[in-house]
Amino acid sequence: MKLLLTLFFILLQGFPEASGAAAFEKADQDIIRGIELLYDGETDKAEDVFRSVLAKKPQDPAGYFYMAMVTWSRLATGFWSREMVQQYIERIDRTISVARAVVQDGNPDSFTYFFLGGALGFKGRFYLMERKWLSSFNLASDAVEALKVCSSMDPSNKDVLLGLGIFDYYTAKLSGVMKFLTFLLVHRGDREEGLRKLNQAAQEATYSSFEAKSVLLHIYLYLEDDRHKALLLARELATRFQRSRFFKYLEGVACVRLDRDDEYREVAAAMRASAERADSGMKAALWIRQSLYLDATHDLFRGNHKEARRKLDAILSMQDPVNDPLMIAYPLLKKGVSYDLEGARKTALGYYEQVMSMENGAGAQFLAEKFIKKPALKNDPFIGY
C-alpha cells in the first residue's frame, strides 16, 4: 500500500511534455510556454495558451491533452471538487477519442501515439486512485504500447523515456494486487532500467527534461532515500521555477533530511522573501502558509511536536479554501502525525478521520488512510510530504 500511495503522489506532481518535430514547430513553442506556466502555478494563463493551441489544430490531440493537464494540475494543488474531477475525466477521454480517430483514419504520426500514450496513462492513474486495479494496469499497458510505437516511428525522441521509465520503475516496485497483475500480464518491471530511462530523459529529452527531473526528485526523496540527489534536483527546479512554492518546499525538505539546518533556514527565509515580493495579498499568503508548513515539517523531523502543532494551527487560522485548499487538509493530517509520533494514537486517528470526512481533502485522504492503517513513525519520509 505504501508504494501505491507513493506512486499516486509521484504521478500527481507532473505531466509529460511534447517533443519537437517539424509538424508542430509553431504549436511546440506555445506548448512549451504553457507548460512553463503550469510549473509556475499560472494555470489560468496556461489554459489560455492551450486553448489557442486547440483552436489552431482542432483535429490534433495535443491541445486536448494539455487542456486535461491544466485540470490535472489544479487537482494536484488541492482543487478536488466534483466539477473539477468531472472536467478532468471529460478532457482526458476527449484526448483519447481524438487520438484514436486519427489512428483509425490511417494518418497518425509519432505525436499521435505520444499523446494517446500520455492520455491513456493519465486515465490509468485516475483509476489507480479509485482502486480499479485491473483497469488501471490495462490502461498503463496500453499507454506504454502507444509510447513504444511513438519511439519506433521517431527513434530520436527521448521524451517518451519519461513514461516508459515511470512504468518500468513502478512495476518493479509495486506489491500486493498490482504486483500480481504485473506478473499476470508478463511485465515484471525493472527498477534500474526505469531509473536509467528517467535519468536519460532528464538529461537528453527536449521538452520533458524538467518533468523527468521532478519525478526523479520525488523518487529520490520518498522512495530511494538518496537525499543528495534529491537536493540537487530540488534546487535546480526551484531556481528554474521561482514562482513555484512546491519546488522550494521540497528543497527545504531535502535540506532537513540531510541535517543541513542552516541551509533549511535559508530556504525558509527565501520563501518569506517571496511573500514580501508578491504582487497581491492572496499570493503573499500562499507563500506564508507554505513557509510555515516547511517549518512544521522541520519540527516534526526534529521531534518538536508541540512547536509543529503551533505552526500548523497558525496555517489553519489563515486558511483560504477558495485559493489554497491544500493548506487545510495537509496541516490537519500533520497534526495527526504529530500526535502519532508522541504515541497519542487515539488523538491522531481523530485528525485522520477528520481529513477523510472532508468534502475536499485535497488529496490528503490517501496519506490519512495510510496512517489510519499504520501509525506514522519517526523519520518516515512521508512526514516530509
> Looking at the structure, do residues 267 and 195 belong to the same domain, yes or no?
no
pLDDT at 2: 38
pLDDT of residue 205: 85
CATH code of the domain containing 266: 1.25.40
Q: Which of 195, 224, 253 is the C-terminal boundary of a domain?
A: 224
One domain for residues 204 and 319: no
Q: What is the pTM of this model?
A: 0.88
* Statement: residue 127 has pLDDT above 90: no
Does position 184 have pLDDT exceeding 60, yes or no? no
The residue-averaged pLDDT of 152-164 equals: 90
In a domain, 233, yes or no: no
Q: At what angle do helices 191-204 and 161-173 cross, to 10 degrees?
A: 160
The pLDDT assigned to 21 comes to 43
C-alpha cell at 116: 494517446
What CA–CA distance (Å, rounded) separates 178 from 184?
10
My answer on whether 42 and 188 are in the same domain is: yes
Longest dimension (CA), the chain: 64
Any idea which residue has 513553442 for its cell?
Answer: 29
Number of domains, the chain: 2
pLDDT of residue 22: 41
Q: Give tens-digit pLDDT for 30-76.
A: 888 998 999 888 999 999 999 999 999 999 999 999 999 999 999 88
Structural domain boundaries enclosing 207: 2-224
Instruction: State the CB neighbour count (10 A cutoff) for residue 22.
Output: 6
Q: Are 162 and 300 in a shared domain? A: no
- Give percent of the chain with pLDDT exceeding 70: 89
Instruction: Note whether 15 and 118 are same-domain residues.
Output: yes
- Residue 85 within a domain: yes
Choice between 266 and 2, residue whose per-residue pLDDT is larger: 266
Burial zone of 86 (CB within 10 Å; 0-12 exposed, 13-18 middle, 19+ buried): exposed
Judgement on whether residues 187 and 266 belong to the same structural domain of the protein: no
14-33 pLDDT, tens digit per residue, is 444 444 344 344 447 888 89
Angle between helices 25-39 and 43-56 (to 10 degrees): 160
Angle formed at CA 382 by CA 141 and CA 264, multiple of 5 degrees: 125
Q: Decide if 231 is inside a domain.
A: no
- 45 with 185, same domain? yes
